[in-house]
Structures are given as structure tokens and as C-alpha cells.
Structure 1
Amino acid sequence: MIGKNSSFKCHKISEGKTSGEVLFSKDGICFYLIDPESGVVIERNHSLFGKSIANKILVFPNGTGSSVVQADGMYQLKMHNMGPKAMIVENADTTLVASSIIMEIPLVDKVDSNFNEIVKNKDILEVNATEGEIKLVQKGE
């Protein structure tokens, strides 16, 4: 059952509103090491290796890699419709911010501290970056 703690405040970086299944990564993301045609993480030893980020609400600590590979990786994913629907990040760097704005991917940070305790993989979230709010719509499996 979804209770009163199912709404979380956050800080808007790139505006937009979307909903989808959440996918947590304990590792930073290098978008260049994600197959643009499938959205599958191909970086060995990554916590999401072999999993697809396509059309997910991606939660991760930070971006990794140079600005060129990050921006190009995000662009390639966007062109193949395999990018994330939204991103929730702990530490947003300049490249991640600029790329998400250009590619029109909602991006937020500074989420309420209880978010990671309540929300789990496969839960369905509604991310309203424009209003600075995340809602837990449905618990996953």
C-alpha cells in the first residue's frame, strides 16, 4: 500500500514530467558505455551490467567519463529512443546538466532523504521535475 510518505521533494535541474519504472544504480553512469541500440549497460563490473536503462527512471550517484563521451553517449541513446525517461542524481556535473537540458530529459537532485529507503527497483514513479516533486505511483514486484 502506498502511504503518506509516497511523495518526495526534489530540486529541478532539467524540467519535464514523466512516469515510469525506476532503476537504481549504485555506480556512476558513463552513457558512452551503454549500447545505444538496446539501452543495455555494456560496462563490465558495473552494477547494471547487462540491464537496460531504456525508458526507465534512472537513479544514480553521478555521471562518469569525459564531457565528450557523456554528451555523445546520451545523444546516441536519445536518437535510438533508448535513453532514460528521467534521471535522479546525487551529484550533477556540468555535462550531465547541459546534456539533459539539450536532450529534454527531466533531471533532478536533492531528493528527500527517505527516498532511498522507500523506493525500490521496479516501483513506478511520476517525476515532475518542473514542480520539484516525485510521487511513488505503484510498488513493483
Structure 2
Amino acid sequence: MKEIIKGRGAIKGIAEGEALVCPDSIQGWAGIDEVTGVIIEKGHVAEGTSIAGRILVIPSSKGSNCWSGHFNSAMINGVKPAGWVVSQIDSRVGVAAVVVGSPMVVDFSDVDPCQVIKTGDWVKVNGDSGEVEISRQG
């Protein structure tokens, strides 16, 4: 079963991958291990899970302004997300996405991607058209 949701393309390009949904986002400082891409934020719903090659689904950023630096380090180490689906873009996540160059769709007006997409779904992010195609797991 496939479902398409529509937002606004923010970073051009197309990426596909397994979704990692973080409904409370990821903190900027001590949120991810920049070498492995593993979420290290204590108590996070996805603590111990890698962002590498995944489609990161978040409401917005959280925490410090270190987001772009941490995600840049993750990119240098080959563990960046393949793409981004962000409910409402803010400056921290926007800069991080530009730095890593992964396609991004943002600003969904009629749907909350963190509610519609589930971790493990296969997701295609089209930063050109603003469409996100979701293929349910299983």
C-alpha cells in the first residue's frame, strides 16, 4: 500500500530509504554520535538506532544551534540521513539539511508526517515536487 503526502520541497533531489520517525526530534548537543550516526540522546525513543542512510522524519529541530555542525560531521563520516521529512522547518534543521545536501520536504499544512509515517516504512522524498511517497512495511 502506498500513500502520498504533500509538503513543500526545501532541498532539491530525490532520496529513498527506510523511515526513522523521531516525534520529539533529536537534540543538537549529544543527540547523535557523529562517527557512527547512532542516536545517543538518553531516553530518546530511537536511542541506539542509526540515522545513516535513513529518511529522518521529525517535527523540527530541538536543542542547541550545533545541529549543522553535528550533521556535517556525520556527513563527513558517511553516516548522514539520506533525506528529511520535517513537519515545520526551522533555521537549525534547515541549515543542517543544506550542509549535508540531502533532499528535504517540509511544511505540511494538512497532515503530520510524524503521525502518518512509521519507523520502518519505505519512504521516497522528492525535494523537487514536495511529495513524500510512503510504502508501508510488511
What TM-score bracket applies, with the shorter chain setting the length? 0.7 to 0.9
Find the counterpart in structure 2 of residue 82 from structure 1. 79
Give the secondary-structure state (helix, strand or coil) at the position aligned to 1:91.
coil
2:68 paired residue among 71, 78, 81: 71
Q: CA RMSD in A?
A: 1.9
Report the structure number with the largest CA radius of gyration. Answer: 1
Q: Is the 8 A contact 1:31 1:74 kept in 2?
A: no
Q: C-alpha deviations, 1:114-141, integer Å up to 9, x for none? A: 75554322111111011111112x3213
Give the secondary-structure state (helix, strand or coil) at the position aligned to 2:37.
coil
2:14 paired residue among 14, 17, 24: 17
Residues of 2 paired with 1:56 and 1:135: CA distance? 14
Structure 1, unpaired ranges of 5+: none
The percent of aligned pairs where both chains have the same amino acid is: 26
Residues of 1 paired with 2:6 and 2:124: CA distance? 12
Find the counterpart in structure 2 of residue 113 from structure 1. 111
Q: Is the 8 A contact 1:20 1:125 kept in 2?
A: yes
Indicate the larger mover: 113-122 or 77-86.
113-122
Q: C-alpha deviations, 1:90-112, integer Å up to 9, x for none? A: 23211221221232111221235
Relative to structure 1, the CA distance from residue 35 to residue 117 in structure 2 (aligned partners, 3 Å threshold; closer, same or farther) is closer
Q: What amino acid is aligned across from residue 56 of structure 1 in structure 2?
A: R
Structure 2, unpaired ranges of 5+: none
Report how many residues are paired.
Answer: 136
Indicate the larger mover: 109-118 or 53-62.
109-118
Matched, 1:99 2:96: yes
Give the secondary-structure state (helix, strand or coil) at the position aligned to 2:80.
coil
Matched, 1:60 2:58: yes
Matched, 1:123 2:127: no
